[in-house]
């Protein structure tokens, strides 16, 4: 039974009627463009066929009541006075709070949500939750839906309601994504361009099943190092530095900071080249760029891990693999590989076995294809 059928059935049992609306929003994986977002650069993420689903019906008061099939506790709050909760429902409350402060007219509803996006694996279950909640409110009130504005509202939810320093990529792709396409996002002005995924290739997400706790401090340290580099060159962000300038005018710049900057500058170039290769349907070039991205993240930016390096090496050595790299902030989490369609199932099996043999961790492997961004599915 699909997740859509499952929440519909569950809704029916609980409320004795079919849901008035069913909405969904997808998780995502970043193909290339890592640690470039906070340098006002480029990213190239893709939605995946794993989503957050909500089945709901409007209420005639200002209450929102929602339970998750995956988490205990349920949300029950009033739009008249939104206060903080203590569980997963913070994302729901926060989204409602942001939308109201931005002037959207919201009405109460009740329903059920469920998701097949693994939590905390780096596939962005939180952005999917935010965007599906926005779609749920929209389904009732029908304001003019602008995906990029909704992405910004979802980011504000994480930044201002939850106090997290999240970038804009996850929300942008979960709201602007499209079936069979990837999205090139300019993180400076938030313009974006949909590009078809080349035919005959599969995107495979390889979860190393390893997580690191130091990730927040390491992340903040990289942000600070990038700021030092952009200050050195007197620019707003590293996005503004061409590679030639970095190579010829960095006398006096600390060697470590220079390496960090080199990752960002070369990664921006790679991301733009990857978008071009994608447009030309050139999977070989795309794979090479992904491999180069991994080496840069491993050696210049130093955010990879033993498990990620092992996973990428194993993936790269399989037949039908065009390229692979770590994806996400790093130190653990997922890698992503570009694989010939016909090889994808055997690739998934072989990589899983070899990785477990070498590391002792049991990996999760997802063969993904891009789906639509946050949307109304029924109603």
Residue 3 near residue 22 (C-beta atoms within 8 A):
no
Kindly tell me which of 134 and 261 has the beta carbon lying closer to Mg ion.
134
Placement of tokens 């491999």 in the chain = 291
Contacted by 180, from ligand ADP, Mg ion, none: CB < 5 to 8 Å by type = none
Q: Residue 255, class by beta-carbon neighbours within 10 Å (0-12 exposed, 13-18 middle, 19+ buried)?
A: exposed
Which residue in 120, 200, 242, 319 binds ligand ADP (CB under 6 A)? 120
Q: What is the dihedral of CA 214, 216, 221, 227, to 10 degrees?
A: 160
Per CB under 5 A, 126 contacts Mg ion: yes
Binding region for ligand ADP (CB under 6 A) out of 18-26, 113-121, 175-183, 244-252: 113-121
Marked catalytic residue, from 70, 76, 144, 170:
170
Nearest approach in angstroms of CB 170 to ligand ADP is: 7
Q: Catalytic residue at 170? A: yes
Q: Which of 26, 41, 94, 122 binds ligand ADP (CB under 6 A)?
A: 122
Q: Which does 88 bind (CB under 5 to 8 A by kind): ligand ADP, Mg ion, none?
A: ligand ADP
Q: Which of helix, strand or coil describes residue 2?
A: coil
Q: Does residue 88 interact with ligand ADP by CB under 6 A?
A: yes
Cα separation, 4 vs 53, in Å, equals 7
Phi, psi of 275 (to 5 degrees): -65, -40
Does 51 contact Mg ion by CB under 5 A?
no
Query: Which of Mg ion, ligand ADP, none lies near 119, with the C-beta cut-off 5 to 8 A by kind?
Result: ligand ADP
Task: Write the DSSP string, 28-41.
Answer: EEEEE--S-GGGT-
Q: Which of 51, 126, 225, 304 binds ligand ADP (CB under 6 A)?
A: 126
| 115 lies in the site for ligand ADP, by CB under 6 A | yes
| Nearest of 348, 358, 295 to residue 318 by alpha carbon | 348
Min dist. Cβ of residue 128 to Mg ion (A): 9
Residues 6 or more apart in contact with residue 101 via CB below 8 angstroms? none
366 binds ligand ADP (CB under 6 A): no
Joined tokens for residue 110: 């009740």
Q: How far is the CB of 88 from ligand ADP (least distance, A)?
A: 3
| Cα→Cα distances 55→51, 111, 145, 375, Å | 13, 5, 19, 12
Interacting residue with ligand ADP among 70, 240, 282, 302 (CB under 6 A): 70
Give the range of 8-16, 66-74, 211-219, 308-316 binding ligand ADP by CB under 6 A. 66-74
**Distance between the two ends of the chain, CA-based, in angstroms?**
20
Binding footprint of ligand ADP on the chain (CB under 6 A): 68, 70-71, 88, 91, 113, 115, 119-126, 129
Catalytic residues: 170
Binding footprint of Mg ion on the chain (CB under 5 A): 126
């Amino acid at each position: 039974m699909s997740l859509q059928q499952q929440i519909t059935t569950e809704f029916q049992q609980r409320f004795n009627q079919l849901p008035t609306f069913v909405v969904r929003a997808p998780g995502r994986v970043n193909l290339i463009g890592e640690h470039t977002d906070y340098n006002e650069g480029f990213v190239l993420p893709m939605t995946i066929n794993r989503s957050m689903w909500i089945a709901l019906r409007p209420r005639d008061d200002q209450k929102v009541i929602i339970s998750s099939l995956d988490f205990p506790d349920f949300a029950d709050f009033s739009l008249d006075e939104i206060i903080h909760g203590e569980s997963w429902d913070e994302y729901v409350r926060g989204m409602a709070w942001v939308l109201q402060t931005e002037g959207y007219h919201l009405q109460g509803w009740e329903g059920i949500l469920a998701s097949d996006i693994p939590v905390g694996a780096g596939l962005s279950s939180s952005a999917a939750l935010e965007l599906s909640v926005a779609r749920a409110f929209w389904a009732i009130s029908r304001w003019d839906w602008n995906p990029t504005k909704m992405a910004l509202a979802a980011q504000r939810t994480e930044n201002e309601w939850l106090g997290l320093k999240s970038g804009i990529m996850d929300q942008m792709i979960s709201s602007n994504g499209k079936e069979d396409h990837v999205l090139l996002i300019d993180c400076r002005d938030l313009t974006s361009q949909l590009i078809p995924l080349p035919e005959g290739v599969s995107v495979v997400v390889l979860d190393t099943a390893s997580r690191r706790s130091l990730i927040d401090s390491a992340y903040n340290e990289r942000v600070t190092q990038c700021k030092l580099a952009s200050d050195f060159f007197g620019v707003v962000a590293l996005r503004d530095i061409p590679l030639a300038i970095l190579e010829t005018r960095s006398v006096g710049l600390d060697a470590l900071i220079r390496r960090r900057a080199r990752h960002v500058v070369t990664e921006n170039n790679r991301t733009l080249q990857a978008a071009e290769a994608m447009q030309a349907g050139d999977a070989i070039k795309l794979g090479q760029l992904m491999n180069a991205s991994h080496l840069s993240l491993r050696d210049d930016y130093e955010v990879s891990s033993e498990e990620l390096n092992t996973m990428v090496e194993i993936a790269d050595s399989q037949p039908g693999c065009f390229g692979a790299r770590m994806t996400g902030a790093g130190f653990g989490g997922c890698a992503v590989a570009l694989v010939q369609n016909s090889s994808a199932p055997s690739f998934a099996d072989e990589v899983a076995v070899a990785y477990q043999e070498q590391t002792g961790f049991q990996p999760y492997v997802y063969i993904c294809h891009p789906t639509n961004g946050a949307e109304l599915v029924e109603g």
